[in-house]
Amino acid sequence: MQTMSQNNLAEFFETCWQDKIDHTKTESDLSYSHPIEDALIYPIYKEIISELNIPANGGRILDVGCGSGRWVRYFSREFSPSRLLGLDLAISSIKLLEKWYSKINEIDISFAQADITSAKINLTETFDLVNVANVLFHIVDHDPFLQAIKNLKTVLEPNGYIFTTEYLPKTTLRSNMMLVHNRDDFERVINHVGLRIVDIRATSFFANDPMGLDASEESLRNEFLTVKSAINKMLSEQIDEQKHTRTVNLFASLEHTLLKFCKSRMDDVDLPSQKLVVLTHT
């Protein structure tokens, strides 16, 4: 399979966020993530932040791969950090977020262009929470991946936590712009740089690609994709906002119930789901 190079990936996201700069009229036009995924993952973030006593209120948060500001919106609405820094490889993401979020209440907020895989990255601050959602699996080679994990550790406070969304299938999977490490390889790299996994929480089955599922393209994975695209089609056909919200809530509670049932019988890491993985220093 032909994979995108780091440069092509950067170009892809440059275009994606430039398009948002050109066409965003209201804040809701900035949204990029799947509404069902949002409905499922945001409460899980809150739960873990509370369980681990992470100082999201008053503390320092870094969002790596800030894109169109999804997590900036989340952290600044749900919490009141003293500092919020967003980094992204794409300059257009930084321009977009500087335009929309240069000031939020009392938060010391800023954005900067940075490649998290670079050995020369100049990060001088440290953070209580480093969020790197839907980013690490876009690093398609081993050495840059290792360097990225080292960089994340460098900016982490001694009692800080990293939140990363992963799939952790049993065998490594690739798509044209993703390298999805199997769970053993992922953990080996994490442990190698002096980090450890604290928690793994399965978040959603159908609101994402089935990259947690190492079945063949012809079989179960395609069935997942078929369900996913049927859900997306249904959502896109509903222009009525109330109906749309009701459908999102219905699918989110369906997934939530299914996940709960599965989790009572199986470890989260074994589910064919996206996962929130929490890391800290060893």
Ligand X SMILES: C[S@@+](CC[C@H](N)C(=O)[O-])C[C@H]1O[C@@H](n2cnc3c(N)ncnc32)[C@H](O)[C@@H]1O
Token look-up 């010391």 returns 108
- Tell me how far, at minimum, the Cβ of 194 lies from ligand X, in Å: 21
With b meaning 16 or more CB within 10 Å and e meaning fewer, what string describes 17-46?
bbebeeebeeeeebeebbbbbbbbbbebbe
- How far apart are CB 158 and ligand X at their closest, in Å? 24
Closest to 90 in 3D by CA, of 8, 153, 146: 8
Nearer to ligand X (CB atom), residue 13 or residue 262:
13
SS3 of residue 250 by DSSP? helix
Q: Does 128 bind ligand X (CB under 6 A)?
A: no
- Residue of 113, 115, 122 lying closest to 86 (CA atoms): 113
* Residues 9-28, mask of contacts with ligand X (x by CB under 6 A): ----x---------------
- Is 133 near ligand X (CB under 6 A)? yes
3-state secondary structure of 217: coil
Note whether 261 binds ligand X by CB under 6 A: no
How many chain residues are in contact with ligand X, going by CB under 6 A?
A: 21
User: Using an 8 Å Cβ cutoff, are 205 and 231 in contact?
Assistant: no
Binding flag, residue 92, ligand X (CB under 6 A): no
Is 137 a binding residue for ligand X by CB under 6 A? The answer is: no
In the set 27, 32, 196, 230, which binds ligand X (CB under 6 A)?
32
Q: Footprint of ligand X on residues 234-253 (CB under 6 A)?
A: none
Smallest gap from Cβ 140 to ligand X, in A, equals 10
Among the residue ranges 75-83, 86-94, 232-240, 261-269, the one whose residues contact ligand X (CB under 6 A):
86-94
> Is residue 168 left, alpha or beta, with left meaning phi > 0 and alpha meaning psi from -120 to 50?
left
Q: Which of 20, 60, 70, 153 binds ligand X (CB under 6 A)?
A: 70
Stretch touching ligand X by CB under 6 A, among 61-69, 176-184, 225-233, 256-264 = 61-69
Nearest to ligand X by Cβ — which residue?
Answer: 65
The yes or no reply on residue 88 touching ligand X (CB under 6 A) is yes
Q: How far apart are CA 188 and CA 190, in angstroms?
A: 5
Q: How far apart are CA 31 and CA 15, in angstroms?
A: 16
Task: Give the nearer residue to ligand X in terms of CB position, either 65 or 169.
Answer: 65
Binding of ligand X at residue 150 (CB under 6 A)? no
Q: Considering the complex, what minimum distance in angstroms separates the CB of residue 36 from ligand X?
A: 14
- Inter-residue contact 224 to 272 (CB < 8 Å): yes
Q: Which is nearest to 274 in space by CA: 38, 5, 93? A: 38
- Name which position in 116, 231, 276, 277 contacts ligand X (CB under 6 A): 116
Residue 264 has a CB neighbour count (10 Å cut-off) of 7
* Closest distance of CB 240 from ligand X, Å: 26
In 80-175, beta strands by DSSP E = 83-88, 108-113, 127-132, 156-166, 173-175
Give the interface with ligand X as residue ranges (CB under 6 A). Answer: 13, 32-33, 64-65, 67, 70-71, 87-90, 93, 115-117, 133-135, 138-139
